[in-house]
Structure 1
Amino acid sequence: MATENIPELVIREVTPDITIFSKPFARFGILPFGGRSTAVRLSTGDVWVLASTPLTPDTKAAIDRLGPVGDGWGRSAPHVFWKEYPEAKVIGVEALIEKKQAEGLVLDGAYGKDAPDTKYGFEDEIYACYFSGFANKDVAWFHASSKTLIVADLLFNLPGNEQYSKSKTKAKVPIFGKLDPWGSVHKHFVWGQGKDKACVLLSFCPSYLGSVEVEVDFGFELSAMARDAKTVLGWKPERIIMCHGDVIETDATKAWASAYSKYLA
């Protein structure tokens, strides 16, 4: 656990069961993306955590008030975060296995490595969609009872005013000013991050082959990105909590549809 609190950390209760932890974070030391962890209390009383910020004393106290941590997702959270919760199952993606092992953390499960139908214990309340076609191999989470979509790098909503609300550094993104789901920059970014985005022609036969009439039988298989973007759209989220940027409290489904419009067309 971090020995000191972070003065710029903003802890906010989004709902009685969801608390977020927001702080400044500069990507490449330049771009003010902001960082955020999210803790969700399940009906069992256990707490599910997406951790990407340090476990400060204030953070731990707020999480512990929600309940015992049962499950965690820790792409960027340091090993010391999970050391404080030895009973928690820590889930990641296949690409993180070696990295986390080098940090001294053995994942209890990994999307992309485990069978697609693997259940980790929280799926009755938090749905998961693994974006296998996304460059970062990210996961979208959906807390069904609050209709809240929780993501890491799948969606941005910059500037992150809340994350920089206690900082002397400005939240404005250089050059672009903002990076949100409605803008063309975000749409191009999402398209560029897709590594499996081409629909596949399954089969095709012309109406006539020589003098022999045959049936036309063709179809398309959606790309992994289109498939997964449609899955999330089908959840119809009313709120989006992302690691980078301000929480979206209205028109969340429209925001997702806009950001992923190139895949949903």
Structure 2
Amino acid sequence: MTSKLVPSNPSAVMVIRDITPNITTLSVPFARFGLIRVGGRGTIVRLTSGALSVFSPTALTPEVRAKLQEKGDNLKYIIAPDIEHHIFVSEWARAYPSAQVIGVEGLAEKRAAAAKDPKSPSHGAQVPFATVFTEKLKGQVRISEEFDRDFEYEYVPEHMNKELVFCYKPDRTLIVADYLFNLPATEQYSRTGEAADKGIMTRLFGALTGTQGRALGQKRFL
């Protein structure tokens, strides 16, 4: 199923963009259920300490590796900000074994089960989680002193995907996963030669979760 969700040629279609000197986005095509074009986006953030963090990691292509090296290659935090944004966590954890993997409750168990499934893309990939956010300890879980200096974050277990929401204070930037949609996924599909809003399911989902007007769909989804 993963082959229907993510591109088989990520280097050819990924858009790497420096939003600020400290923030870089990695935008790729991504279709929910293989049908709804919501796009995918990883975010690399350089902390004031010089350490790097990645949120919702995408494929670790040679171009992404080059960007990490350009930023110092000191990746210390790999963050899966909800129970769905974890497909490439293993790939990054193998490349940066000293990095802390951070996620939400239920994700470690989900990935452990997938690691035992020969049909899963995560087969054999056991990833230890250094920090897990839980509803029971909501508001009490911290990541590290250097990370906490730069970020404010909130765990939203009420969301169906158990969302982590981050604010990078130095650049006043909000980083989310499925907490908010910004459709159509124009940048994510800009190198594919295909329309970002292709398909009736994509257009319907976009209409329901759009940010224009009163954004009632977004509000009700939250």
Superposition TM-score, scaled by structure 2 size: 0.78
Q: 2:87 and 2:217 mapped to 1: Cα distance? A: 28
Q: Does 1:7 align with 2:17?
A: no
Q: Given the alignment, which residue of 128, 131, 143 partners 2:156?
A: 131
Q: Does 1:171 align with 2:177?
A: no
SS of alignment partner, residue 106 of structure 2: helix
- Measured at CA, do residues 177 and 118 of structure 1 come closer, stay the same or move farther in structure 2, by a change above 3 Å? closer
- Alpha-carbon displacement from aligned partner over 1:193-231 (angstroms, at most 9, x marks no partner): x5xxxxxxxxxxxxxxxxxxxxxxxxxxxxxxxxxxxxx
Residue equivalent to 2:95? 84
SS of alignment partner, residue 62 of structure 1: helix
SS of alignment partner, residue 142 of structure 2: coil
**Structure 1 residue 5: deviation in Å?**
5.2
- Measured at CA, do residues 18 and 114 of structure 1 come closer, stay the same or move farther in structure 2, by a change above 3 Å? farther
Is the Cα–Cα contact under 8 Å of residues 23 and 35 in structure 1 kept in the other structure? Answer: yes
Residue equivalent to 1:159? 184
Map 1:1-265 → 2, pairs under 5 A: 6-67=11-72, 68-74=74-80, 75-78=85-88, 79-101=90-112, 102=115, 103-112=125-134, 115=137, 116-121=139-144, 122-172=147-197, 173-175=202-204, 178=207, 179-183=209-213, 187-192=216-221, 194=222
**Structure 1 residue 100: deviation in Å?**
2.6
Letter in 1 for 2:79: W
SS of alignment partner, residue 70 of structure 1: strand
Q: Which has the larger radius of gyration?
A: 1
Q: 1:40 and 1:96 mapped to 2: Cα distance? A: 23
Letter in 2 for 1:181: T
**Structure 1 residue 137: deviation in Å?**
0.7
Letter in 2 for 1:119: R
- Measured at CA, do residues 144 and 84 of structure 1 come closer, stay the same or move farther in structure 2, by a change above 3 Å? same
Residue equivalent to 1:259? none
Taking only the aligned residue pairs, the percentage that are identical comes to 34
Q: 1:177 and 1:130 mapped to 2: Cα distance? A: 25
**Structure 1 residue 139: deviation in Å?**
0.7
- Measured at CA, do residues 88 and 174 of structure 1 come closer, stay the same or move farther in structure 2, by a change above 3 Å? same
Is the Cα–Cα contact under 8 Å of residues 57 and 78 in structure 2 kept in the other structure? Answer: no
Residue equivalent to 2:4? none
Superposition TM-score, scaled by structure 1 size: 0.66
Letter in 1 for 2:159: F
Alignment length, in residue pairs? 190
Q: 1:71 and 1:86 mapped to 2: Cα distance? A: 10
State the superposition RMSD in angstroms.
2.1
* Unaligned stretches of 5+ residues in structure 1: 195-265
Q: 1:40 and 1:88 mapped to 2: Cα distance? A: 14
